[in-house]
Amino acid sequence: MNVVPPLRKSFPCVLLVFVVLVFQQSIVLAQGSLTPPGPPAPTMKSLDQIEPRTPISSVPFVITNSGSYYLVSNLNLTVNTNAITISTNDVTLDLNGFTIGTSVSRGSGAAILLNGGNTDITICHGHITGGTFPYFASGITYSGVAPLNVRVSNVSVSECLSVGINVGTNGTALVDGCSVQATTGYGIEAGQVSFSTAYQCGQTAIIAATIAFNCTGSSVNGDGIDATVANSCSGSSSGGGNGIFAYAVNNCIGYTASGLAGVSAWTANNCYGSSSAGDGLFADIAMNSVGISSSGTGMAGIVNIGCYATGGGTGVGLNGSIAESCSANSESGITYKLNMP
């Protein structure tokens, strides 16, 4: 009878074959030069590769190529021209927290000029000042055709002979988070203005062709705020203008020391208007609003709902055609009264 040898008796042969194969493979892997091909190469991208930017270290400076630019320090203009001129499209200018100033007395140039219908421009994060008596003519403005797709954000402007910030009144021109102070002309002019302030302006402080949101404007001779729609704004005029002048006004406060209106609008909702000599609040439709005048009519319009008004001098408290749930110290011309004494 044939007897099969136990499996354990063949194990040394199997082990020997396995060792030989591993040894042969190690010999193959060990072949080749051990000398490095060269020094280690950088594996990270440089800042220029991530965001190529061009530094601006002196003014005047003219931007003729698209791209990103930034200030490296405070810059002072000593010749009567524009400090920075943008003459092309697709430009980002980062003031980098620094200030553009001037030592030119009553200069004719702008701190930043958009030259000729620029598109896709961003200007941000810094300051422009004319100082005391040396002035820029304008802070940020344009020449020729109004620019498109322009955004100015977090920039402060002070002491300009003309306008503080003017980027045109089309709907793509946006000013956000900016402040303007002490200009003899307009403060801020744009398509949309948000979270911005303009004080001590000779003419209208804030002009927004479409909407002004959460803004404060103070003018000497013009309107505090002039907009198509004004939401959550405060506007004042010390003479010669309305506090707020808009088509639709919501949640706003307006005051004027002139014979015009604290708030003048087609519709006013939840607003407060005050005037020294004119109408406190003038609106065709006023809802849940207050109008007060020291020597004129407190509130004037056509339809008044849930309003309060008081007038002084020769004026009356409320002057309208239809009034519902209103209160006034005196009334005039109200043909239809609902829920009123």
Q: What is the pLDDT of residues 42-97, one digit of tens each?
A: 667 666 666 689 999 999 999 999 999 999 999 999 999 999 999 999 999 999 99
Please, are residues 182 and 198 in contact by the beta-carbon 8 Å criterion? no
pLDDT at 40: 72
pLDDT of residue 25: 53
Please give the pLDDT value at position 7.
47
| SS3 state at 325 | coil
| Cβ(306)–Cβ(286) below 8 Å | no
Query: Biggest alpha carbon distance in the chain?
Result: 139
Rounded to two decimals, the pTM is 0.85
Which amino acid makes up residue 251?
Answer: N
**Per-residue model confidence (pLDDT) at position 313:** 86
At 155-173, the pLDDT tens digits run 999 999 999 999 999 999 9
DSSP string, 81-118: S-SEEE-SSSEEEE-TT-EEEE-SBT-SSEEEEEESS-
Distances (CA, A) of 6 to 13, 17, 36, 257: 13, 19, 53, 116
Which residues of the chain register pLDDT less than 50?
4, 7-11, 13-23, 26-28
Helical H runs in 41-186?
47-50
- Rounded to 5 degrees, what are φ and ψ at 169? -110, 20
Tokens for 102?
Answer: 């001037």
Cα 218 from chain centroid (whole Å): 17
Question: 302 φ, ψ to 5°?
Answer: -115, -55
**The pLDDT value given to residue 35:** 67
What are the backbone angles phi and psi of residue 114, rounded to the nearest 5°?
-90, 120
**Strand, helix or coil at 20?**
helix
**200 φ, ψ (degrees, to nearest 5):** 55, 50
